Chains A and B, each alone.
Chain A
Amino acid sequence: MPSKQLDPTQWVKKYSDYLFNYTITRVNDREVAQDLISETFLAGLKSMKNFKGEASERTWLISILKRKIIDHYRKINSKKGKAEVHINYRDEDGEGEWMEERMADPYDKTAEDVIENTELGDAIYNCLAKLPERQAEIFKLKTIDGQETETICNAYNITASNLWVIIHRARTAMVECMEKNWLQ
């Protein structure tokens, strides 16, 4: 089996949208997401020699990103700990049962749990990753960015009917893929 190779020059083109969306559904902040992805790429570049070629490039980058997201939540969590305020008893009898202890701590779970939870957006991006590269690019511009048909045609030097053929193929493949991977 040929081992998989890393090609950092293609990372942004191939994975930035996927990673951005992955991060933003988990940290909910565009700036933070951007920083985490920069850090991920940098960490990736530094540890390229550790890449064994067993996983795909994308899986490998995601595994780095996951750790960055967890670190991000740990940081927030430690800041949050310093500002901890005990508010009130939950009820009269429950002495010592601080309200805080009773409440689910959103951060406590977020990091690992949310990451393992498959989001609709991830399912979509997983399917997008299976499309031919050019088809995926054009489909994303049209469907996610909502660009005008004409703009895309000019950028790719194709006719409108070419574009619709590409869109049709992409949509058909996406429908099939989503039916397999997203039950609803």
Chain B
Amino acid sequence: MSFKLFIDCDKAGHFCDKSQYKESSVLEKLKLNIHILFCRDCKEHSKRNLKLTRFFKQANLQNMPEDKKQSLERLIDEELAK
């Protein structure tokens, strides 16, 4: 593995996405932060990306549990079969 501290915008974007899910490594975060120092576009993108994460956190969305979905599916199938 080559050790490159400077990454391109695609990589930066990818690390930024990963860090929204707390899946980026320390090294990846470091690389992202260095990139952001020099790249205004990625800095802006990171900011907006983080904002989206905050929206999701704030909204505290809840998907319907899988078993409930299945029982609803059955309900609809039964009704349609009538």
Residues of A participating in the B interface, judged by any CB pair closer than 8 Å = 8-9, 11-12, 16-17, 19-21, 24, 30, 34, 37-38, 41-42, 45, 119-121, 124-125, 140, 142-145, 149, 164, 167-168, 171, 174-175, 178-179, 182
Contact = CB atoms under 8 A, between A and B. Distances in A.
- Tell me what chain A mostly uses at the interface: helix, strand, loop, or mixed: helix
Interface of B: 13-14, 17-18, 20-21, 23, 48-49, 51-52, 55-56, 58-64, 68-69, 72-73, 75-77, 79-80
Given A45-B76, A171-B52, A182-B55, A121 B61 contact: yes
Contacts of A41: 72, 75-76
Among B17, B18, B61, B63, max chain A CB count under 10 A is at B61
B72 A144 contact: no
A174 B64 contact: no
Contacts of B76: 8-9, 11-12, 41, 45
Contacts of B52: 171, 174-175, 178
Contacts of B58: 120
Among A42, A175, A178, max chain B CB count under 10 A is at A175
